[in-house]
Amino acid sequence: MSRIGKRPVAIPSGVTAQIENGALTIKGPKGALSMGTDEQVAYNLDDGSISVQPANASQTARAHWGMQRTLVANLVEGVTQGFSKTLNITGVGYRAQAQGRRLKLQLGYSHDVDLEVPEGIEVKTPDQVTIEVSGIDKQAVGQFAAEIRRWRKPEPYKGKGIKYRGEYVFRKEGKKK
């Protein structure tokens, strides 16, 4: 039995949900999101909640059960509150600047790194060493934040690079004489 899958997902006021043509669509104050339904899982729309149950007693249906419930919960949370990730840049001369739908990074390379911000994602730079990525789709926000971080991962000796806020970078001691 899935402990996560057993709990129904509460639908707050101002949010509507419907299942049509094999897709679950959730509409809320921040926008609309949809996801394809899994044939191994049955979705039930009750008044004020969505419950997810395995369609049969097979192992694969039970394996998909909890994950599908979590995906539904992420859709509801995305259209009501949204998701955000904050990245911090550490290093002399490293900086970021949001320019419309582009993010310009100076990371010690011989050239600037220009990234196109995907549709549905918003990027802010409150200062030169902080990047805030936000949007309603949890997967898209996390993917774009990972693409930014990939350009200069934090290194263990001086800690220079791009890291998530709250991320711990294991530091190593340098060479000894």
Q: Along the 177 residues of the chain, how does pLDDT read in single tens digits?
A: 678 888 999 999 999 999 999 899 999 999 999 999 989 999 999 888 999 999 998 999 999 999 999 999 999 999 999 999 999 999 999 999 999 999 999 999 999 999 999 999 999 999 999 999 999 999 999 999 999 999 999 999 999 999 999 999 999 998 888
Q: Considering the entire predicted model, what is its pTM?
A: 0.90
What are the boundaries of each domain within the chain? 3-80, 83-164
In this chain, the answer to whether the domains covering 3-80 and 83-164 adopt an identical fold is yes
Which CATH number among 3.90.930.12, 3.40.630.40, 3.20.20.80, 3.90.45.10 corresponds to the domain 3-80?
A: 3.90.930.12
Largest pairwise CA distance in the chain: 70
Q: With b meaning 16 or more CB within 10 Å and e meaning fewer, what string describes 140-163? A: bbeebbeebbeebebeeeeebbbb
Fold adopted by 83-164: Outer Surface Protein A; domain 3 (3.90.930)
Q: How far apart (Å, rounded) are the C-alpha atoms in residues 12 and 127? A: 35
